[in-house]
Structure 1
Amino acid sequence: MKIWRVDKNVDDYSGFYLKNEDDKNILEEKLDKGDLVSNWNELEVEVHEADKPIGDCPHLWSGGYSLIVSERGKEIISNNYKNYIQFLSLNYSQENQKFYVLNNLNIIDCVDYNKSELEILMNKYIVDVKKYVFNENAKKAPIFKIYLDGVIKISTFVNNDFKNLIEDSGLEGFKFTEVFDFEA
């Protein structure tokens, strides 16, 4: 089994930006903490680089690292992994398309600190991971974010099953980078 970091293909697909820059604070405060968001007002987004197709996983240029998915992406992912994520609607007014920001509910402690290559500041603060080694907790999670020394990190990780679902479904705009192989 492999673990992959999910990103967006910004070279071939356009993305969005928040119409109201202050909405970035809402994303940072509410998302990817492992909690359901109960009080959500749609954030308004506009297309960036309109000469490119949008795809099913557009980048949110002004909103940091949140994953955005299309209506089709939401349906495919939620049919298989609804217990791990929450989809919060965005206000995108063009072309009758609907997009959602993905709220990752699955935050796990799964980094093997002894075997991973860590960048440590002042001999005590882990600031980055140069090479990931995951423990068995990562095998149980199809999609997750990690605790790194008690702090939730921004990257989203998935297993082979999640990656294969995206690729086999023909969803476009996702980019996967292998970060760990349990069999290597």
Structure 2
Amino acid sequence: MNYWLSGSALENLEVDACCVLPKSLESPPYYIGEPMLNQWVQPPLEVVDGEICDVISYRPGALIISKHAMEKMTPFIENEVEFLPIKLKGMGDYYVLNVVNVIDCLDMSKSEVRYHADGKTVRTIRDYKFYENMIDNVCLFKIPQSAGSEILATEKFKCILNELNIKGLRAHPLFGQD
């Protein structure tokens, strides 16, 4: 079973959790599964009041995590992500969790996929079916069809989250998953 983790939907975070917003949604960076550390420059950010957690909502395809969460999660996800350092006024060390593990594992013939008018660009995926053998030993990943808008996680990662007691992040089932 796989789960979807959103980088922007507040309903995936605990009630009253803090949120960080980019000052402009039109400005880069876009978190599409590509490494960014070598050219990383922190974008202008605005902190919205709320409880300070280990994981903070940010924008589609990316999350902000505390140093505490980074240190706990690193042994499990270090080959699947990169940690982009950011400074948030009065909040200590935080990082943008940039998932760079893009796996073309969506079974398009069994998934329910809706396309934009061009017939090529994926608009939504309503029923995710994966080639399970491609994600057996994975925690976090993205798929090419939605790399800029969502972070996907396996049951393995959900179990790790529960064990580590990371505050502020919940895993929600994908459409079509039990």
**TM-score interval w.r.t. the shorter chain?**
0.7 to 0.9
CA contact (8 A) 2:69 2:166 kept: yes
After superposition, the Cα gap between the structure-2 partners of 1:25 and 1:44, relative to the gap in structure 1 and judged at 3 Å, is closer
Distance 2:51 2:41 in 1: 26
> Equivalent residue for 2:28?
26
CA shift digits 1:66-117 (9 cap, x unpaired): 211111111111122111110011111214x211101111011011111111
> Could you tell me which amino acid in structure 2 is paired with residue 40 of structure 1?
W
Which runs of structure 2 are paired with 1:63-74 in the superposition (5 Å)?
63-74=59-70
Q: Which runs of 5+ in 2 are unaligned?
A: 7-11
Please, which of 57, 60, 70 is the counterpart of residue 59 of structure 1?
Answer: 57
CA 1:36 to 1:44, structure 2 compared with 1: closer, same or farther past 3 Å? closer
TM-score normalised by the chain length of structure 2: 0.82
Cα separation, partners in 2 of 1:154 and 1:88, compared to 1, 3 Å? same
CA pair 152-65 structure 1, distance change in 2 beyond 3 A? closer
Contact 2:60-2:150 within 8 A present in 1 as well? no
Q: Distance in 1 between matches of 2:156 and 2:124?
A: 26
Please say if 1:119 is aligned against 2:119: no
Identify the structure with the greater strand proportion.
1
Runs of 4+ in 1 over 2 A off after TM superposition: 31-37, 41-47, 120-126, 138-141
TM-score, normalising length: structure 1: 0.80
Match for residue 14 of structure 1?
Answer: 18
**Residue aligning to 1:163:** 158
Distance 2:143 2:5 in 1: 13
Amino acid at match of 1:32: I
Cα RMSD of the aligned pairs, angstroms, is 2.4
Which is higher, the Rg of structure 1 or of structure 2?
A: 1
SS at match of 1:79: helix
Unaligned runs of 5+ in 1: none
